[in-house]
């Protein structure tokens, strides 16, 4: 026979072989059957395909213990991928169900109040509704105050009977929180009697904190609307940048799954080659052997489909108990879209067959081993570069258009742009995966010397780096994609988030509610000041005021507060109740003193709702005794210019749509509890009072939703990658168990073998992470340019690379028990 260095240790001189690192050379003439079958030709066409595929499946299920274990490992890995794909296919239904339930209980059109003319007249079937939301430990607690105006008042979804005055209906999660020690401070805010629980139909998720409070005090106006039914449209326009980001998230989360499924169906490659060689001995053609190999992979993939369905159903049962960034779902919501489920059932087996045929595309099975059809050559680079080049070609026009356009919207006016972005990103990430085997081969080719464990690892990689490179391809793609998405998020966050807050010398909390009498304002201010942990509190009433009419109409702001508060807004000097001041900003752009001098007549007419109800405008004249004073930095963090009045100088309650604003700071040593006590005081004054923190980052809902999806999906993909990589590592150890047990029998320490396994995994991982970082930064830079933003965080890859490395280390440690078991003496047995 010809000399070759095959997998059984026989030596020859033909060197390296196929794409997977196998060695071989051309067969000696007459040394085996030719490509032409020697036996009966049998069926042809589709019948031959069916016969060969069924034979491959029979080899899988009747191939003894080895075949069953290999099929089980393939089915498990494919099943994990199918489960993740099924969860991804459930996302459209999940989001639709959440939005539908949210819309069914809402009374406001997206982003707007109900105009007064659109509100029904009072009747037996109407209800007064006021939204009353709060926060607890920075977690939103949404709710509404309800006042039925007759026996036929509408009932929100998930509620059997409306609560009476002072009664409350709560979501199960809110009920548990109120009853726990953690929610003690929140229970002080809700001192109402709980009379029932809101059902699933009235909640967006099992972890939502939501309530309905009955009242007999609220009146129409000032945020209180009259309705005759629940339900509204939620057609809020989506930022096109968020669409592109969502498309990227889908690619980043799903592409690694496809890579891992493709890796799983190639388990047992060496055993498959031995079977193909045996088939060639009895006269099977090359095409027939490839179809048989595809049948084996197809059988494992088909077994993986029910395995994936079982894993999916098992995981779905835990949906109510899993919440990442307060995103929780009901099990019934996690239902795959039927079309996508059918696509998964077809695509996974098709991918298994395609991957197998691709792996065997340049291989001919001969009785004495697997050899190349063509002369020996290293892995080719040129076709691997074509894939990312195609991705660049899809993304480049959008980048150039965005740079040349005045805004992002014009660059993404076409409805097909997100599809192009997703396709371009997918090709670039696929290019990262296809470049990895070539790069690993190049990097390990020159490694020489070192400790025994290092030499065992490097020689194994030099002989066949394909399985090791394929095993880490999934995590390479995941890290590269996650780096790109994080760069996009950081770029968009700079414009879309709220201000980072005020400096420490300014307020940390702000509250807003209806105006009151001077005595009420003083009492409320004192209530906030006496709250434990709260200090440096100021309160004032404010509203816009106008002077003149037509083109000469000028607008300023009127602030009403006591002298102590006004002295913190301006340098007023002496002050007593009844005084008025005109605050002029020093070196400011607005000449308040010149535009609104003492004696100016002002008109305050409120917003559209007050006008529609016929509420008369409040007219007031700045007293001629008013003094012009210089502003100073107010507790809100900026200069307050305009008209400053003490309570006796103006009737604040008569001003339409005026608002009382409270600003406060809290004790740094008791910050978290003090904030909740401040909110409790606010709720006691007015349950509808809005309270929010200053100094924190407030994200847009759409961007936060995409980030939450990325976090949730990223955790799932990392878990999937870890499990699949563990399965792949165990399969590789099983393939090499005889060689490993022989090494141990010859005196090699098991610790040396353990280190060799670690190095054999670590080298491809290190190469993969470097490639993933470079690819992710490049793709992220392109995507940031595509959205018209700039890169704000070049080091987003650091935690992601660390997470990827941690997964590899964990997988190696979990594989060590299998290594100890496979290196026992009985593993040297062979047939």
User: Rounded to an integer, what distance in angstroms lies between the CA atom of residue 377 and that of residue 264?
Assistant: 26
Burial annotation 755-781 (CB, 10 A radius, 16+ → b, else e): bbbbbbbbbbbbbbbebbbebbbbbbb
Are 721 and 581 within one domain? no
- Among left, alpha and beta (phi > 0; psi -120 to 50; other), residue 450 is left
Contact indicator for 521, 529 with CB cutoff of 8 Å: no
pLDDT of residue 7: 38
Q: Which of 11-20, 50-59, 267-276 has the lowest mean pLDDT?
A: 11-20
Q: Which of 157-171, 225-239, 399-413, 737-751 has the lowest mean pLDDT?
A: 399-413
pLDDT at 242 over 70: no
- In this prediction, residues 269-292 reach a mean pLDDT of 73
User: At 408, is the pLDDT very low, low, confident or very high (cuts 50, 70, 90)?
Assistant: very low
Contacts of 660 (CB under 8 A, 6+ apart): 512, 513, 514, 515, 516, 521, 524, 539, 540, 541
Are 712 and 788 within one domain? yes
Only one residue has tokens 């305050």, namely: 604
pLDDT tens digits, residue range 75-113? 887 888 888 888 888 888 887 888 889 889 988 754 456
Are 534 and 457 within one domain? no
pLDDT at 596 over 80: yes
Beta strand 642-645 with 580-584: parallel, antiparallel or unpaired?
Answer: antiparallel
Domain total of the chain: 3
Are 654 and 787 within one domain? no
Count the alpha carbons within 13 Å of 61 in the hemisphere toward its beta carbon. Answer: 12
Residue 35, domain member (yes or no): no
Residue 5, domain member (yes or no): no
Last residue of a domain, one of 667, 693, 719: 693
N- to C-terminal Cα separation, the chain: 22
Residue 809, domain member (yes or no): yes
pLDDT of residue 429: 86
Q: Which of 276-280, 337-341, 382-386, 543-547 has the lowest mean pLDDT?
A: 276-280
pLDDT of residue 301: 86
Are 749 and 770 within one domain? yes
Are 370 and 483 within one domain? yes
- In this prediction, residues 354-358 reach a mean pLDDT of 78
Q: Which of 102-106, 312-316, 482-486, 653-657 has the lowest mean pLDDT?
A: 482-486
Are 288 and 436 within one domain? yes
Contact indicator for 232, 132 with CB cutoff of 8 Å: no
Residue 522, domain member (yes or no): yes
Contacts of 599 (CB under 8 A, 6+ apart): 621, 622, 623, 624
Structural domain of residue 582, as residue ranges?
Answer: 509-693
Are 425 and 574 within one domain? no
Residue 27, domain member (yes or no): no
Q: List, in sequence order, every residue forming a beta bridge with 210; answer none if it has no partner.
A: 142
Residue 585, domain member (yes or no): yes
Residue 101, domain member (yes or no): no
DSSP H/E element including 383: helix 382-404
Residue 38, domain member (yes or no): no
Q: Which spans in 319-451 are helix H?
A: 338-359, 382-404, 408-411, 417-445
Are 685 and 798 within one domain? no
pLDDT at 583 over 90: yes
Give CA separation, 365 vs 33, 62, 371, 646, 722, in Å: 10, 22, 7, 96, 33
pLDDT of residue 437: 87
Last residue of a domain, one of 629, 662, 693: 693
Count the alpha carbons within 13 Å of 39 in the hemisphere toward its beta carbon. Answer: 10
The token pair at 145 is 């105050």
Last residue of a domain, one of 666, 693, 720: 693
Are 634 and 662 within one domain? yes
Give CA separation, 777 vs 46, 387, 774, in Å: 47, 18, 5
Are 802 and 819 within one domain? yes
User: Rounded to an integer, what distance in angstroms lies between the CA atom of residue 388 and that of residue 782?
Assistant: 13
Are 313 and 434 within one domain? yes
SS3 of 808-821: HHHHHHHHHHHHHH
* Residue 383: alpha-carbon gap to chain centroid: 33
* Residue 71: alpha-carbon gap to chain centroid: 34
* Residue 327: alpha-carbon gap to chain centroid: 10
User: At 671, is the pLDDT very low, low, confident or very high (cuts 50, 70, 90)?
Assistant: confident
pLDDT tens digits, residue range 173-184? 999 999 999 999
pLDDT of residue 20: 40
């Amino acid at each position: 026979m010809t000399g070759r260095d095959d997998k059984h240790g026989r030596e020859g001189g033909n060197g390296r072989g196929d794409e997977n690192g196998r060695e071989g050379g051309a067969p000696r003439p007459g040394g085996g059957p030719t490509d032409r079958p020697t036996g009966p030709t049998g069926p042809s066409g589709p019948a031959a395909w069916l016969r060969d595929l069924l034979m491959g499946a029979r080899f899988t299920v009747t191939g003894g213990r080895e075949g069953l274990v290999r099929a089980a490992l393939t089915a498990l890995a494919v099943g994990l991928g199918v489960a993740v794909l099924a969860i991804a296919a459930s996302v459209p239904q999940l989001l639709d169900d959440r939005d539908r339930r949210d819309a069914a209980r809402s009374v406001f059109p997206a982003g707007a109040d109900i105009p007064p003319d659109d509100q029904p007249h009072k009747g037996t079937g109407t209800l007064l509704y006021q939204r009353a939301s709060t926060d607890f430990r920075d977690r939103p607690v949404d709710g509404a105050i309800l006042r039925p105006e007759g026996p036929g008042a509408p009932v929100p979804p998930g509620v059997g009977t409306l609560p009476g005055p002072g009664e409350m209906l709560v979501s199960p999660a809110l009920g548990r929180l109120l009853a726990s020690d953690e929610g003690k401070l929140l229970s002080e805010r809700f001192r109402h009697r709980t009379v029932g629980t809101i059902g699933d139909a009235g909640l967006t998720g099992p972890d939502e904190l939501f309530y309905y409070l009955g009242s007999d005090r609220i009146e129409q106006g000032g945020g209180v609307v009259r309705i005759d039914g629940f339900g509204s449209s939620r057609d809020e326009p989506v930022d096109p940048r968020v669409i592109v980001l969502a498309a990227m998230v889908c690619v980043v989360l799903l592409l690694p799954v496809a890579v891992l499924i493709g890796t799983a169906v190639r388990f047992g490659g060496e055993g498959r080659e031995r079977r193909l060689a045996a088939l060639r001995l009895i006269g099977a053609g090359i095409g027939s052997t490839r179809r048989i190999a595809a049948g084996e992979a197809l059988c494992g993939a088909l077994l993986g489909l029910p395995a994936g369905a079982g894993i999916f159903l098992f995981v779905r049962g835990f949906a109510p108990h899993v919440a990442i960034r307060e995103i929780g779902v009901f099990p019934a919501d996690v239902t795959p879209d039927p079309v996508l489920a059918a696509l998964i059932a077809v695509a996974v087996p098709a991918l298994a067959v395609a991957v197998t045929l691709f792996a065997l595309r340049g291989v001919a099975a001969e009785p004495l081993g697997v050899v190349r059809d063509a002369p020996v050559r290293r892995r080719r680079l040129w076709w691997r570069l074509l894939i990312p080049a195609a991705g660049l070609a899809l993304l480049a026009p959008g980048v150039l258009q965005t740079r040349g356009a005045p805004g992002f919207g014009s660059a993404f006016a076409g409805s097909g742009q997100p599809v192009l972005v997703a396709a371009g990103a997918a090709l670039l990430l696929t290019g990262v995966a296809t470049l990895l085997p070539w790069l690993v081969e190049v990097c390990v080719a020159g490694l020489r010397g070192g400790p025994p464990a290092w030499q065992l690892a490097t020689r194994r990689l030099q002989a066949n780096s394909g399985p090791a490179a394929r095993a880490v391809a999934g995590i390479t793609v995941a890290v590269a994609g996650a780096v790109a998405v994080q760069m996009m998020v950081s770029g968009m966050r700079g414009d879309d988030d709220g201000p980072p807050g005020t400096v420490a010398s300014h307020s940390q909390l702000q509250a807003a509610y209806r105006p009151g009498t001077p005595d009420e304002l003083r009492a409320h201010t004192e209530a906030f000041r006496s709250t434990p942990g709260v200090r440096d509190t100021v309160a004032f009433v404010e509203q816009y005021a106008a002077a003149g009419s037509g083109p000469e109409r000028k607008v300023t702001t009127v602030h009403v507060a006591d002298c102590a508060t006004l002295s913190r807004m301006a340098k007023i000097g002496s002050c007593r109740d009844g005084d008025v001041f005109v605050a002029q900003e020093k070196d400011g752009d607005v000449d308040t003193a010149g535009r609104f001098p003492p004696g100016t007549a002002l008109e305050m007419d409120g917003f559209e709702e007050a006008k529609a109800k016929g509420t008369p405008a409040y007219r007031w004249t700045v007293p001629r005794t008013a003094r012009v004073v210089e502003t100073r930095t107010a507790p809100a963090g900026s200069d307050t210019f305009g008209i400053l009045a003490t309570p006796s100088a103006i009737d604040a309650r008569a001003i339409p749509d005026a608002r009382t604003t409270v600003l406060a700071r809290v004790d740094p040593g008791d910050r978290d509890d003090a904030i909740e006590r401040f909110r409790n005081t606010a709720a006691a004054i007015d349950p509808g009072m809005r309270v929010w923190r200053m100094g924190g980052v407030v994200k847009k809902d759409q961007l936060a939703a995409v980030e939450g999806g990325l976090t949730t999906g990223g955790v799932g993909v990392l878990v999937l990658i870890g499990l699949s990589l563990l399965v792949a590592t165990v399969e590789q150890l099983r393939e090499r168990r005889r060689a490993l047990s022989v090494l141990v029998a010859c005196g090699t320490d098991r610790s040396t073998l353990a280190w060799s396994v670690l190095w054999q995994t670590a080298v491809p991982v290190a190469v993969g992470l470097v490639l993933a970082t470079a690819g992710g930064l490049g793709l992220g830079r392109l995507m940031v340019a595509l959205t018209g933003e700039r890169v704000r965080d070049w080091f987003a890859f650091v935690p992601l690379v660390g997470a990827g490395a941690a997964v590899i280390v964990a997988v190696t440690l979990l594989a060590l028990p299998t290594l100890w078991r496979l290196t026992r003496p009985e593993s040297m047995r062979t047939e």
